[in-house]
Amino acid sequence: MSLDTFYLQFQGLVLPRETQSVDSLNFVHEFKFEDDDVLAVTFPKSGTVWMQEILPLILNDGDLTPIQTIPNWDRTPWLEETRLSLVVDQLKPPRGLVTHFHYDLMPASFHQSKAKVIYVMRNPKDVIVSFYYFHQMAGFLEDPGTFDEFLDKFLDGKLAFGKWTDHVKSWKNAKLGDRIMFISFEEMKEDLPAAVRRMSTFLGKNLSEEVIHKIAEHCSFDAMKNNPMSNFSLVPKVYMDSDKSQFLRKGVAGDWRKHFTSEQLSRFRSIISKDLEGESFTLPWSLD
Ligand code: A3P
């Protein structure tokens, strides 16, 4: 099957046809951001569905109703996906949204608004591994081939949403001042209550310790794996085949160690460090 079967081209990126369309991309262009919107930005496989669980709980003071009754894709929709136009009128303010878009693809209304951004980044080596397994189970993505071939596609920016380094650079260099906070997957994994506390403070929510711990408990990997509204068990097998790999697969930091050879690691290190040459920001992990 040709790549056109799976992807459409948009502003130099390939995007999955199953979830994006010309109409959905036009819809984003016209989308009206509100000042109290909160946008979680991620490169794929960096903790998007985790944020789809955490954000509504923070914004609703720990009320579990949204995560127990609404599938994640309608509860905290992707800005760029076709579902948004279908559910946008049902979203109650303050609205939580997620996106994989680079900063320069944000619509005009985003820049005119005071909408806040939480950028979640994950060690790119774990992103590659997670993305590799996701390509095996997602019927709407091209076959990943071998891990070695997949690594090259990732480093060349040939996968959906392009180069990881371009994504990070675009948001790290965006001049958003106190509208943006950065957090890592690893920080969330290390101490979820502390991460929830930091996010709620950023969002101006003064949550009690009891609510913070309740949120962390309901957003643990095991809780989400058992939540049919969050574990993609509602999705037909033809789109996501959990016999091949689970969406909520391992949920750990450092799984890359079981997948990279030393040659692949040095190829990764040399390309990523070249891509980031001259950047003034630092990353929370070593490239080694
Ligand atoms: P793994 O494939 O390494 O397990 P995204 O939502 O951006 O597509 O990212 C998916 C990755 O986030 C998967 O990684 C998934 O298991 C992990 N993840 C989702 N919810 C999580 C949670 N509550 N705790 C830890 N990892 C989580």
* Cα 50 to ligand 1 centroid, rounded to whole Å: 7
219 lines ligand 1 (CB under 6 A): yes
176 lines ligand 1 (CB under 6 A): no
**Which of 33, 156, 14 lies closest to 88, judged by CA?**
33
Q: Whose CA is nearest to atom 27 of ligand 1?
A: 251
- Distance (Å, rounded) from C-alpha 219 to C-alpha 212? 11
What is the structure's pLDDT at 207?
98
42 lines ligand 1 (CB under 6 A): yes
What does the pLDDT average to over 178-185? 98
* Cα 219 to ligand 1 centroid, rounded to whole Å: 11
- All domains of the chain, ordered by start, with CATH? 9-124+156-236 (3.40.50.300)
What is the structure's pLDDT at 265?
98
248 lines ligand 1 (CB under 6 A): yes
Q: Catalytic: which of 29, 100, 167, 218?
A: 100
What is the structure's pLDDT at 170?
98
- Distance (Å, rounded) from C-alpha 59 to C-alpha 8? 34
Does position 1 have pLDDT exceeding 90, yes or no?
A: no
What is the structure's pLDDT at 4?
87
Q: Whole-model pTM?
A: 0.98
| 218 band by pLDDT with thresholds 50, 70 and 90 | very high
**Catalytic-residue membership of 111:** no
| 199 band by pLDDT with thresholds 50, 70 and 90 | very high
What does the pLDDT average to over 132-150? 97
pLDDT tens for 8-33 read 999 999 999 999 999 999 999 999 99
What does the pLDDT average to over 272-285? 96
Beta strands in the chain (DSSP E): 7-10, 13-16, 38-42, 96-99, 116-121, 180-184
Contacts of 283 (CB under 8 A, 6+ apart): 121, 168, 276
* Cα 82 to ligand 1 centroid, rounded to whole Å: 22
- Distance (Å, rounded) from C-alpha 146 to C-alpha 150? 6
Distance of CA 14 to the CA centre of its chain: 16
73 lines ligand 1 (CB under 6 A): no
CA angle 195, 277, 264 (to 5 degrees): 80
pLDDT tens for 48-106 read 999 999 999 999 999 999 999 999 999 999 999 999 999 999 999 999 999 999 999 99
| 271 band by pLDDT with thresholds 50, 70 and 90 | very high
What is the structure's pLDDT at 88?
97
Q: What is the mean pLDDT of the chain?
A: 97
What does the pLDDT average to over 253-272? 98
Q: Whose CA is nearest to atom 25 of ligand 1?
A: 251
Of ligand 1's listed atoms, the one at least distance from the Cα of 126 is: 3
Query: Of 41, 46, 48, 50, which is best to mutate to test ligand 1, by the most ligand atoms within 8 angstroms of its C-beta?
Result: 50
256 lines ligand 1 (CB under 6 A): no
DSSP string of 56-70, one letter each residue: HHHHTTT--HHHHHS
- Distance (Å, rounded) from C-alpha 268 to C-alpha 285? 14
What is the structure's pLDDT at 28?
97
What is the structure's pLDDT at 3?
81
What number of other Cβ atoms are within 10 A of residue 224's Cβ?
21
